Structure 1
């Protein structure tokens, strides 16, 4: 390799490292600046959860609460084993199609997938899991919402589903208890799956950071 190409490669690596560092720093600052700063959780209301697998965050909500029922969007017949639809909760997240389907864990992460999603993609999905009561663990947070706050949250989430001819379009998920659905919205380095979770909570009036691109930006606002 010539000296000229070595210099180009070195500058490219330095530029990428600087960009990644700046992005990480901006995310931590944005996640630390509160919105809805006067919000406090009520003692009673609708209990939801925020959970993370280390990459994606999602909202865990009761299938039926405050007159709202998720079974019209996330139908029992949409999952490989419809018996799981009897569980009382649904875990719902939003994200980029390739990122969701190819990066279930950190071991699955590929640079080309990350870069492709970060540049921008309108191929987005909703991920819905039918689950029992979430267990207490470090990557789960419980949040109590007032009925009107829960209705706002649910309205935001429902609006993210793409509905065609009165029905959601689905495909099977990672296992027998989950499915993916076509979604609205464009994924980017700014509007990540975790930013969507923060947007949903912010829309409901919950105290959370102004920009939440990483899981820690979401979970960090709620006590274990």
Structure 2
């Protein structure tokens, strides 16, 4: 009888942990940080976009520093770059929720695998992007945040992984960091906004908090 009680107790703890994670993460998602500055100082625009699972930040090519553009693949039609970070297996095998499997999620959360930066090229602004007005100092900081995420080889060059992109307009590069339930593809974006003194969530593993924050302002 004692053994049965211990088993049920263990099962209860196991089931309670995911619920606790969801509750805490939702609470922190709806706690904003960094106040919006005077809009008259906002001379640049960046964008947020989500495919339903991966949140990415989009910046005009003319607003990117030379460090980010170095070693990048693009042509004369490229006007915007989007950047997202995440676990290699999860990014490559789970481009949308329709591709999600228990094994993909488990590996991303609990196995120490390679992280990637997903870079997509656009010729124009897309209608589903959410615009964020920022100042020069914020633009400089978000540039530094992105450039510091690229993993460099022994020649200080970005490491492109050919053939992994979803289309002809995107590529994956090796990145620094490790994906966990506390450091997701979406929390990478959120951390970048926080460190750039832009409006963000206190912490979030989701995409919808940031999208709603700027879409409904």
TM-score (norm 1): 0.84
User: Which ranges of structure 1 fall in alignment gaps of 5 or more residues?
Assistant: 77-83
Q: Quickly say closer, same or farther: Cα 1:176–1:13, change in 2 above 3 A.
A: farther
Q: How does 1:15-54 map to 2 (within 5 A)?
A: 15-37=13-35, 39=37, 41-42=39-40, 44-54=42-52
Cross-structure match for 1:79: none
Note the alpha carbon deviations across 1:2-31, whole angstroms, 9 max, x for none.
Answer: x99999987676545432222111111111
Unaligned ranges ≥5, structure 2? none
- TM-score norm. by structure 2 comes to 0.87
Distance in 2 between residues matched to 1:15 and 1:128, nearest whole Å:
40
Q: Partners in 2 of 1:121 and 1:145 — Cα distance?
A: 35
- Aligned twin of 1:106: 97
CA RMSD of aligned residues (A): 2.6
Residues of 1 paired with 2:102 and 2:196: CA distance?
34
Find the aligned partners of 2:91 and 2:64 in 1 and give their Cα distance. 30
Query: What is aligned with 2:81?
Result: 90
SS in 2 for 1:48: strand
Question: Structure 1 residue 206: deviation in Å?
Answer: 0.5
Partner Cα separation in structure 1 for residue 208 and residue 131 of structure 2 = 15
Deviation at 1:186, TM superposition (A): 1.2
Counterpart contact for 2:80–2:123, Cα < 8 Å: yes
Distance 1:12 1:111 in 2: 21
Q: Shift of the alpha carbon at 1:67?
A: 5.6
Of 192, 211, 214, the residue aligned with 2:206 is: 214
* Alpha-carbon separation, structure 1, partners of 2:72 and 2:133: 23
Write the distance in 2 (CA, Å) between the matches of 1:213 and 1:86: 33
**SS of 1:167 mapped into structure 2:** coil
Aligned residues: 213
Q: How does 1:108-123 map to 2 (within 5 A)?
A: 108-123=99-114
Stretches (4+) displaced over 6 A: 3-13
SS of residue in 2 equivalent to 1:30: helix
What is the Cα deviation at residue 132 of structure 1? 2.6
Q: 1:55 to 1:122 in 2, by over 3 A?
A: same
Cα 1:22–1:142, aligned 2, differ >3 Å: closer, same or farther? same
Q: 1:129 pairs with 94, 110, 120, which one? A: 120
Structure 1 12/202 Cα, relative in aligned 2: closer, same or farther at 3 Å? same
Q: How far is the alpha carbon of 1:170 from its aligned partner?
A: 1.0
